[in-house]
Amino acid sequence: MTPRLGNLMALALLPFFEYFRGTPHQAAAVKELEDALPQELLAEDAAWFEAWKASGIAQKAVVPYVHQLDFQYKGYRRCLDASAAMLAIMYGKVSNAEEYGEARKKIWRHDRRFGPSEDTQRAWSERRVQE
């Protein structure tokens, strides 16, 4: 057993952030640190978090990936839906692509001005035939 010399110096957190790769043992260690922090340091209005947000440093947004073919109905035509679903999932408005599709249908039924592109194409085709 190695004898402990005691805490000769405090740990600096910055090197931990620089070498963080998201491995299971690193994530577990960060969770332990989070659990040990006082609640006021975890608040969204904490001074350190305000400084982090105001730093001007580009930050990556963690956006879940949704492939347009994840939609059961006409996935090959749902690129815009897939993009919008990714944002809706990221912001916690829906939990998956199909749920987004259902929410979009409800909105579309409520306001018919915003319909799918194939309806617009069909309307233009019918208009050309009439001319």
pLDDT value of residue 31: 92
Report how far Cα 56 is from the mean position of its chain's Cα atoms.
20
pLDDT value of residue 70: 73
Dist CA 56 CA 52 (whole Å) = 8
Report how far Cα 127 is from the mean position of its chain's Cα atoms.
42
Q: Quick: pLDDT tens for 68-104.
A: 887 776 767 777 888 888 888 888 888 888 888 888 8
**Of the candidates 65, 68, 64, the residue with the CA atom closest to the CA atom of residue 79:** 68
The answer to whether residues 77 and 118 touch, using CB atoms and an 8 Å cutoff, is: yes
Give me the residues of the chain with pLDDT under 50, please: 1
**Of the candidates 103, 114, 64, the residue with the CA atom closest to the CA atom of residue 87:** 64
CA distances for 72 relative to 68, 75, 83, 91, angstroms? 9, 6, 16, 23
Report how far Cα 50 is from the mean position of its chain's Cα atoms.
20
Query: Could you tell me which residues come within 8 angstroms of residue 93 by beta carbon, excluding any fewer than 6 positions away?
Result: 100, 103
pLDDT value of residue 57: 62
DSSP one-letter code for 4: P
pLDDT value of residue 123: 56
Q: Kindly list the domain boundaries of the chain, sorted by start residue.
A: 14-53, 68-130
pLDDT value of residue 85: 87
pLDDT value of residue 105: 77
Distance in Å from the first CA to the final CA of the chain: 92
